[in-house]
């Protein structure tokens, strides 16, 4: 297997996302396959591979688009200079001791941790216009 190499001046940014419903096992499997892939390929893969699971597809596309906008606005990152570094999906169940029914006794918290590698560039300098 060929080792993937990022450019020398890359930075890893981590995003933690909490979402309401569980992702399907198929979606989780697809997410695990995205390691070291360019983000624009990941967005295409999500759109195409998750056609059969529209809820998961829409949630993931919203998450990734929000992350990209955040990176572009806060760190001057180019969309084409973003790679998936790692993705973790965790489902945690909490038992609610106040509810009596077994069906309502568990509260599920779902978390998605996305680590992105990106090339950060300094913001463009503002040009002073002499008047």
Task: Dump pLDDT digits (tens) for 32-53.
Answer: 999 999 999 999 999 999 999 9
Can you give the CATH number for the domain in which 45 is found?
3.90.470.10
Note whether residue 74 is domain-resident.
Answer: yes
Domain count, the chain: 1
Mean pLDDT of the chain: 86
- The 3-class SS string of the chain reads CCCCCCCCCEEEEEEEEEECCCCCHHHHHHHHCCCCCEHHHHHHHHHHHCCCCHHHHHHHHHHHHHHHHHHHHHHCEEEEEEEEEEEEEEEEEEECCCCCCCCCCEEEEEEEEEEEEEEECCCCCCCCCCC
Note whether residue 51 is domain-resident.
Answer: yes
Q: What is the pTM of this model?
A: 0.79
Task: Dump pLDDT digits (tens) for 115-130.
Answer: 999 988 777 778 888 8
Give the model's confidence band at 71: pLDDT under 50 very low, under 70 low, under 90 confident, else very high: very high
Note whether residue 24 is domain-resident.
Answer: yes
Note whether residue 1 is domain-resident.
Answer: no
Predicted pLDDT at 130: 84
Note whether residue 4 is domain-resident.
Answer: no
Residues of the domain holding 35: 10-94+107-120
């Amino acid at each position: 297997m060929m080792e993937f190499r990022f450019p020398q001046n890359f930075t890893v940014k981590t995003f933690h996302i909490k979402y309401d419903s569980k992702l399907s096992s198929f979606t989780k499997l697809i997410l695990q396959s995205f390691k070291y892939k360019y983000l624009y390929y990941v967005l295409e893969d999500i759109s195409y591979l998750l056609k059969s699971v529209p809820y998961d597809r829409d949630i993931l596309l919203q998450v990734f688009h929000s992350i990209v906008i955040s990176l572009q606005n806060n760190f001057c990152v180019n969309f084409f200079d973003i790679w998936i570094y790692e993705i973790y999906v965790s489902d945690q169940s909490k038992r609610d001791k106040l509810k009596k029914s077994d069906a309502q006794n568990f509260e599920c918290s779902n978390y998605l941790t996305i680590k992105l590698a990106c090339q950060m560039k300094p913001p463009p300098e503002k040009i002073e216009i002499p008047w």
